[in-house]
């Protein structure tokens, strides 16, 4: 009995509070002036702010804050500007002051730039709730200067592409021109006749047209499509392949290009699915390994799209036509060139320059469309490629495949596939311009 009397009494079992109950108690304590922890502020999205949010943020406090004890004199404006750089002392609330008690749950002090008479606009609250000091008061003139400096830059600099910077764009262009002529990065222009026995040029056209649909289905960037077709041609230039494996080669090349270019590339299962599960995942991965071995993991390669971006920006300097119209029309003609097996004999920069010639001719047939200074080519050097692109646009070649034409017949591409150039290119346009 004595042991039981001297034993420490067991603590009372406290019921466990849920998170919701804890939040409710904290909110009630903040409203009633209890000593509980302050409730967290609700996060406000920008879309929830009213139209006059700027005026609301700069409004003076609804309840004046009583100064700390012993500080009844007004503070000069110069002292406010100096003390604003340091953390403000915590105000001591008087007994029975409801306003000061409500300060425990309010936000930390806030300093508004350019407020009325230069006095910082502080929300009612205890500065000890925040460990960071309030920001200094910024005069209205400085605020205007900072907002002016954050205005959008000119279009050439606002694109965000470092390759479009004029200070070293010419050096990059020279490097890409040297890179595209390396034999290891170029497919053979006669591999259908010299290497393949079961694959024809028409089969290649059908495969490329189908890959355009695949890229559109999975919303892949244009560079993925161009790189995939480059891998296909380079693989077929040195490996004999049966027609039953041609589609497998196409999706494997697209898988590699997507891993190289895309932020979130499709999975191997997605490419198996797009072929109606004609091939298994193991077959796809094996073909992927064969392609990588042939390429020796050298996946980077300048394509038609690489040069077309530079030419399109330079071609729009005259501002006579919509840059979107020029970009869409150039992309349409460039993808048409992918269908033509005969275009493999031309370098990517040659095809891109020829595409710009035909695009400018289509938009304005009455003006000479050549840009010798931008491309570095003479128009006489591109005549054969220009004629090939022109025939593709007029449906004189590869007219049986429709994926590219249907793609650019949509409203989002400004129906550029419905635009047609003059049936005959004036012979004067093929004369070299004077330097």
The pLDDT, as a whole number, for residue 374 is: 74
Please indicate whether residue 409 or residue 16 has the higher confidence score (pLDDT).
409
Which of the two residues, 325 and 30, has the higher pLDDT score? Answer: 325
Q: Which CATH superfamily is domain 181-295 in?
A: Cyclin-like (1.10.472.10)
| Among the ranges given (15-19, 283-287, 374-378), the one the predictor scored with the smallest mean pLDDT | 15-19
The per-residue pLDDT for 401 is 87
All residues at 6 or more sequence positions from 373 whose CB lies less than 8 Å from its CB, including other chains? none
CB 164 within 8 A of CB 310: yes
**Residue 77 pLDDT level (bands cut at 50, 70, 90):** low
More confident residue, 103 or 389: 389
Are 398 and 338 contacting, i.e. CB atoms less than 8 angstroms apart? Answer: no
Question: Which range, 33-42, 107-116, 153-162, 223-232, is most confident?
Answer: 223-232
- Positive or negative CA dihedral for 367, 368, 369, 374? negative
CB 119 within 8 A of CB 98: no
| Buried b or exposed e, range 289-305, using 16+ CB within 10 angstroms | eebeeebeeebebbbbb
Domain boundaries, the chain: 181-295, 304-430
Helices (H) and strands (E) in the chain, counts: 20, 0
pLDDT at 126 over 70: no
Given the structure tokens 């007004």, which residue do they identify?
74
Percent pLDDT > 70 in the chain is: 60
* Contact of 365 with 421, CB cutoff 8 Å: yes
Which pLDDT score is estimated for 170? 80
Residue 15 has pLDDT above 70, yes or no: no
| Rounded Cα gap, residues 68 and 349, in angstroms | 75
Measure the CA–CA gap between 112 and 132, rounded to whole angstroms: 16
256 Cβ contact partners less than 8 Å away, ≥ 6 residues apart: 227, 228, 231, 288, 291, 292, 299
In which element (H, E) is residue 381 found? none
- pLDDT of res. 368: 76
Distance CA 133, CA 139 (A): 19
**Which 8-state DSSP code applies to residue 234?**
H
Residue appearing with tokens 């493999």:
344
User: What pLDDT was estimated at residue 431?
Assistant: 78
Interatomic CA distance for residues 285 and 280, integer angstroms: 9
Report the mean per-residue pLDDT for the chain. 73
State the number of CA atoms in the 13 A half-sphere of 156 facing the CB: 12
Instruction: Answer yes or no: is pLDDT of 256 > 90.
Output: yes
Q: Which pLDDT does position 223 carry in this prediction?
A: 94
Residue 229 in contact with residue 338, Cβ under 8 Å?
yes
What are the pLDDT digits (tens) for 175-194? Answer: 988 998 998 899 999 999 99
Is the per-residue pLDDT at 274 higher than 60? yes
Asked if pLDDT for residue 32 goes beyond 70, the answer is: no
CA distance 122 to 112: 8
For residues 102 and 66, give the distance between their C-alpha atoms in angstroms, rounded to a whole number: 13
- pLDDT for the residue numbered 426: 83
Provide the terminal-to-terminal Cα distance of the chain, rounded to the nearest Å: 116
pLDDT band at residue 99 under the 50/70/90 scheme: very low
Per mean pLDDT, which range of 159-168, 249-258, 384-393 is the poorest?
Answer: 159-168
Which pLDDT band holds residue 124 (cuts at 50, 70, 90)? very low
Q: 9-13, 175-179, 314-318, 361-365 — which is least confidently predicted?
A: 9-13
Answer whether CATH 3.40.50.720 is correct for domain 304-430.
Answer: no
Rg of the chain over all Cα atoms, to the nearest angstrom: 35
Mean pLDDT, residues 158-168 taken together: 62
CATH topology identical between 181-295 and 304-430: yes
Pick the closest to residue 335 from 179, 201, 210 (CA basis).
Answer: 210
Let me know: does 111 contact 84? Beta carbons within 8 Å. yes
For 268, counting Cβ atoms within 10 Å of its Cβ (0-12 exposed, 13-18 middle, 19+ buried), the class is middle
Note the pLDDT of residue 132. 45
DSSP letter (8 states) at residue 155: H
Q: Could you give the 3-state DSSP secondary structure of residue 350?
A: helix
Residue 149: is its pLDDT beyond 60?
no
How many Å apart are CA 344 and CA 228, to the nearest integer? 14
By 3-state DSSP, what share of the chain in percent is helix, strand and coil, each rounded to 5?
55, 0, 45
Residue 312: the pLDDT is 84
What is the rounded average pLDDT of the residues 67-73?
48
Mean local confidence (pLDDT), 31-44: 47
DSSP string covering 345-375, please? GS-HHHHHHHHHHHHHHHH-TTS----HHHH
Residues 315-333: tens digit of each pLDDT:
665 555 578 888 999 999 9
> Mean pLDDT across the stretch 126-155?
40
């Amino acid at each position: 009995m004595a042991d039981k009397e001297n034993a420490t009494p067991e603590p009372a079992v406290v019921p466990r509070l849920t998170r919701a109950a804890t939040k409710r108690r904290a909110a009630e304590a903040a409203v009633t002036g209890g000593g509980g922890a302050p409730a967290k502020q609700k996060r406000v999205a920008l879309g929830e702010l009213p139209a006059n949010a700027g005026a609301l943020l700069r409004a003076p406090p609804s309840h004046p804050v009583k100064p700390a004890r012993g500080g009844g004199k007004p503070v000069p404006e110069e002292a406010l500007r100096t003390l604003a750089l340091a953390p403000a002392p915590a105000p001591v609330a008087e007994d029975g002051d409801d306003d000061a008690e409500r300060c425990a749950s309010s936000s930390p002090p806030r300093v508004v730039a350019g407020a009325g008479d230069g006095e910082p606009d502080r929300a009612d609250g205890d500065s000890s709730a925040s460990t960071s000091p309030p920001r200094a008061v910024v005069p209205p003139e400085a605020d205007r200067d900072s907002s002016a400096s954050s205005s959008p830059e000119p279009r050439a600099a606002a694109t965000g592409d470092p390759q479009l910077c004029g200070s070293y764009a010419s050096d990059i262009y020279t490097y890409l021109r040297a890179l595209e002529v390396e034999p290891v990065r170029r497919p053979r222009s006669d591999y259908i006749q010299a290497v393949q026995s079961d694959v024809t040029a028409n089969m290649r056209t059908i495969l490329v047209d189908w890959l355009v649909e695949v890229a559109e289905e999975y919303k892949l960037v244009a560079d993925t499509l161009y790189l995939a077709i480059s891998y296909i041609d380079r693989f077929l230039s040195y490996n004999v392949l049966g027609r039953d494996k041609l589609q497998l080669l196409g999706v494997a090349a697209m898988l590699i290009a997507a891993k190289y270019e895309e932020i979130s590339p499709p999975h191997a299962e997605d490419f198996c699915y797009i072929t109606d599960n004609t091939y298994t995942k193991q077959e796809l991965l094996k073909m992927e390994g064969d392609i990588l071995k042939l390429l020796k993991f050298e996946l980077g390669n300048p394509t038609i799209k690489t040069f077309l971006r530079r030419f399109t920006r330079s071609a729009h300097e005259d501002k006579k036509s919509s840059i979107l119209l020029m970009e869409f029309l150039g992309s349409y003609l460039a993808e048409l060139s992918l269908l033509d097996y005969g275009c493999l004999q031309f370098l990517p920069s040659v095809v891109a320059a020829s595409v710009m010639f035909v695009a400018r001719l289509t938009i304005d047939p009455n003006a000479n469309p050549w840009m010798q200074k931008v491309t570095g080519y003479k128009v006489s050097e591109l005549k054969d490629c220009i004629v090939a692109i022109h025939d593709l646009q007029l449906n004189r070649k590869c007219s049986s495949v429709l994926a590219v034409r249907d793609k650019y017949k949509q409203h989002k591409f400004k129906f550029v596939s419905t635009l047609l150039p003059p049936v005959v290119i004036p012979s004067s346009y093929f004369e070299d311009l004077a330097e």
